[in-house]
């Protein structure tokens, strides 16, 4: 192969990888060796960077195609990050040697509280000007970035703005939002104590599902928000959030009831409030999921 051909192949490979990244792919399936590799690198833990939000938005390092519940992930070489919550101290699980490696797909930041406000504002301004998805940019009333406490312990991730959110510029303000507020209240929290955002920051016309390409285009912003807020917990509301964040193909019902990891955050997946509006019987499942989450924080939601 001469140099020109080689350069063309290289360009094609880079282009292809970029297509995958923009489509939201964060992991490649790793062929797990039957013999443990002693020199295998430990998963990259969150670094101490406090300056660059851009650094947190680098594309994910591809490793796996299925989300790995926290319990199964390879124990990190570095100590677990300090948890300043009521949560019981987490001990590193002893993973079997054949457990798949999890490489953190993005870099959470340790920003001081005021800096989080500043960085979120900078990112929100960038989102306001975004025209990556031509159709969404030309049909939106405004972008819907996120709302809540930049220092929240819990981040909620939904799907995409609907008509009400598009009008008001805030996530979860329509009927699904009212139900979400009820759930938050039942968990003895206030909406302002949580940070709330979506996979997409623009309303898909007719409330259709976000396309893979749109989710990929918006991933940089979602990752940016998660890196800045750097929550202890993330709740994926519905399968769009769960599938996109965790690069999973599993139905939401199969993803419930376990913790996954994303950066430093523990992630749970549950049904979307819009689904609950159509299927009120599933509210009890969501309540179970909330109890599961809060139990991990040392809070028993069943107690009076
Ligand atoms: N549904 C979502 O997923 N997000 C919103 O912001 C509103 C409804």
Q: What is the pLDDT of residues 202-241, one digit of tens each?
A: 999 999 999 999 999 999 999 999 999 999 999 999 999 9
Q: Which residue has the tokens 């680098």?
A: 58
As given in the structure block, the two tokens for residue 230 are 């750097």
For residue 158, how far is its CA from the centre of ligand 1 (angstroms)? 5
Give the DSSP H or E segment for 148: strand 147-148
Atom from ligand 1 closest to the CA of residue 238: 3
49 near 109, Cβ under 8 Å? Answer: yes
Q: What is the pLDDT of residue 76?
A: 35
**237 Cα nearest atom in ligand 1:** 3
Ligand 1 centroid to Cα of residue 102, in Å, is: 29
Question: Which residue out of 155, 158, 243, 277 has the highest number of ligand 1 atoms within 8 Å of its CB and is therefore the one to mutate?
Answer: 158
Residues with CB under 6 A from ligand 1: 158-162, 165, 171-172, 174, 176-177, 198, 274
Distance in Å, CA 128 to ligand 1 centroid: 18
Measured distance CA(222)–CA(236) in Å, rounded: 12
pLDDT at 304: 78
62 or 182: whose pLDDT is higher? 182
Average pLDDT over every residue of 19-25: 42
State yes or no: pLDDT of 197 exceeds 60.
yes
Helices and strands (H, E) in the chain, number of each type: 11, 6
Q: What is the pTM assigned to this prediction?
A: 0.71
**pLDDT bucket at 181, cuts 50 / 70 / 90:** very high
Ligand 1 pocket test, pick from 143, 162, 214 with the greatest ligand atom count within 8 Å of Cβ, gives: 162
Residues written for the chain: 304
pLDDT (tens digit per residue) in 67-93: 556 544 433 333 323 222 323 333 333
Over residues 24-30, mean pLDDT = 43
**Residues 267, 166, 179: CA angle, nearest 5 degrees:** 50
What's the distance, Cα to Cα, between the start and end of the chain in Å? Answer: 73
Secondary structure of the chain: what % helix, strand, coil (to 5)?
Answer: 40, 10, 50
Place of tokens 């500043």: 118
The pLDDT score that the predictor gives to residue 125 is 98
Residue nearest to atom 8 of ligand 1 (CA): 172
Ligand 1 pocket, mutate which of 177, 179, 201, 277 (most atoms under 8 A from CB): 177
160 CA → ligand 1 middle, Å = 5
pLDDT given at position 6: 61
Of 211, 209, 231, the C-alpha closest to 219 is 211
Helical (H) or strand (E) element with 167: helix 163-168
Environment class of 170 (CB within 10 Å of its CB; exposed 0-12, middle 13-18, buried 19+): middle
Range in 43-57, 169-183, 253-267 with the lowest mean pLDDT: 43-57
The structure tokens 């990752």 sit at: 223
pLDDT at 169: 98
22 falls in which pLDDT band (50, 70, 90)?
very low
By the 8 A CB rule, do 102 and 63 touch? yes
Helices (H), ranges, 197-247: 212-229, 239-246
Q: Name the CATH code of domain 113-296 (choices 3.40.50.2000, 3.90.25.10, 3.30.950.10, 3.40.470.10).
A: 3.40.470.10
> Ligand 1 center to residue 173 CA distance, Å?
8
Q: What is the CA radius of gyration of the chain?
A: 20
User: Confidence band (pLDDT; 50, 70, 90) for 9?
Assistant: low
Residue pair 187/302 in contact by the 8 Å Cβ criterion: no
């Amino acid at each position: 192969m001469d140099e020109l051909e080689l350069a063309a192949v290289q360009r094609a490979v880079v282009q292809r990888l970029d297509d995958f990244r923009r489509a939201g792919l964060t992991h490649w399936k790793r062929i797990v060796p039957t013999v443990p590799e002693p020199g295998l690198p430990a998963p990259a833990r969150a670094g101490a960077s406090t300056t660059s939000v851009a650094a947190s938005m680098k594309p994910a390092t591809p490793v796996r195609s299925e989300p790995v519940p926290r319990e199964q992930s390879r124990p990190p070489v570095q100590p677990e990050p300090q948890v300043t919550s009521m949560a019981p101290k987490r001990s590193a699980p002893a993973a079997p040697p054949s457990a798949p490696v999890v490489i953190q797909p993005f870099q959470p930041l340790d920003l001081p509280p005021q800096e989080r406000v500043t960085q979120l504002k900078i990112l929100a301004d960038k989102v306001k000007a975004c025209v990556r998805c031509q159709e969404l940019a030309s049909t939106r009333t405004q972008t819907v970035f996120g709302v809540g406490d930049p220092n929240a312990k819990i981040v909620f991730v939904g799907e995409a703005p609907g008509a009400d959110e598009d009008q008001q510029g805030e996530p979860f303000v329509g009927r699904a939002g009212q139900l979400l507020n009820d759930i938050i209240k039942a968990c003895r929290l206030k909406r302002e104590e949580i940070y709330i955002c979506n996979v997409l920051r623009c309303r898909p016309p007719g409330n259709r599902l976000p396309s893979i390409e749109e989710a990929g285009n918006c991933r940089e912003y979602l990752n940016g928000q998660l890196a800045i807020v750097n929550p202890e917990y993330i709740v994926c509301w519905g399968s769009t959030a769960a599938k996109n964040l965790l690069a999973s193909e599993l139905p939401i019902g199969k993803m419930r009831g376990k913790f996954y990891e994303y950066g430093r955050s523990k992630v749970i997946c549950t049904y979307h409030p819009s689904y609950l509006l159509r299927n009120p019987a599933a509210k009890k499942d969501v309540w179970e999921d909330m109890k599961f989450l809060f139990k991990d924080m040392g809070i028993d939601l069943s107690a009076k």
